[in-house]
Structure 1
Amino acid sequence: MTANSKMLALLITLGLGAAQASDDHGGPVHPKPYTPGVTLSKAVQASITPEQSIKILQAGNQRFAAGRSLKYDHKRHVRQTALGQFPFASVVACIDSRSAPEQVFDTGVGDIFTARVAGSTVNEDMVGSLEYAAKVGGSRAIVVLGHSNCGAIKGACDDVQMGNLTGLLAKLKPAVEATSTSGERNSKNYSFVNDVNEMNVKLTVEKIRATSPILKEMEAAGQIKIVGAVYDTATGKVHWQ
């Protein structure tokens, strides 16, 4: 089996490139250019630039924050993506119930890869997942999405010790240490917590680049963008770093 044949077999196994996604009549799902609310096809995914990927997410968040989210036909999208997926972006987010990326960015089934863990941090498994999403899955952007009033960030600020959470919060400590906001250095100081949150997003973006030569090279070549953002739980708006 040739290298190309092995890659094709891998794509089919992973549900990527198994077939061009099609509508109920067998035709292509998605006309060019990208249209919000319509299932993505391989051709449209390939036509989206990293910059356009970010703009699509920004437009989706504007709809969400304004209360104008699209009405998705999820059942139809499930049928259309059964044999293939062509997401245009990947999002690293917190497990917080208020900040689900699919809702915050007003996206549909098959639109984005999401990796979620308390504190929006990354480890080897998360970075490996992002490599897969970009190199194999065709994702055009990686967004590290923090959010206001994050319990994990507050826990790191307060040096909380609790089972396996202790090790997770330790990954957020570099952001606490790198933040020099005046006043109390704990969760009672809202400004401090907010600044630690912003710093954690920035450090996570840097960590992705530092631990993944694959993603760093793809970004340098203009194939993807890696950016940070913070979701405001009070307004529904995303602030981009």
Structure 2
Amino acid sequence: MTTPLDMDPAVRDAVKDLADAEQLYEELKEKVVDGEDVTPRDLAEHRELIDFAALMIDSTKKKVTAARAEDRQRRYIELGDELATFTAGSQDVEDALIAATAALRHLLDVGETRRQRMKDIASRGAALRQEARDHGEESDLKNAGVWASDAENGIVYRRVENGELTYRRRMLLHPAHLAALAIRNSVISHNLDRGITYMEWPESSMSAGRWAAREFPAAAGPTMPGHAEWPGQ
């Protein structure tokens, strides 16, 4: 915010000089009344000082106004030059955006490949389970590790390997669930690094990200204070 012209230090000094000159002139007139040795020339010279001080106020205001105008013009040009550089120099953002888009597209592609593979396994598993039921061999199917294999409940693998029980469950995730998790983790990590400890997050996106986080706990990402408990934390 620009300081009012009358509050400018140089203008205030000029105004003070005028006030001092006027005070000296009044004191000199009192000396005349008191019979002290004051000549007409003395009064005239002090009157001239008052006139000069008044002119200096106008001169100072004019100089300050011109200096301020020059400073504004300089700042106009500086900001224009900065804006020109900024609008022409966003290559780093464009490169990052292109890289992020490519990475996200790759995530969607591998996610879709996984989804199609799971749908195929689930379909063949459902048919094989029915076949095992028909022959009373469901326990044999489970001993082979196939405990569940359908699109609704996912795939469950459970079998003793090298004397230890191995259990794995995989859900049929849409690639968008993986993208939701990646975006959620990027945004929250960015905000946590900036000291932001709470932010609103769309519930639909949060749910989709949570499904993917449960499926891939190593990639679950950070939790955000104030949010619901996050898988992997």
Q: For the superposition of Structure 1 and Structure 2, which TM-score range results when normalised by the shorter chain? A: under 0.3
* TM score, norm. by length of structure 2: 0.19
Structure number with the bigger relative contact order (C-alpha 8 A, sep ≥ 6) is 1
Structure showing the higher helix proportion among its residues? 2
Of structures 1 and 2, the larger Rg is shown by: 2
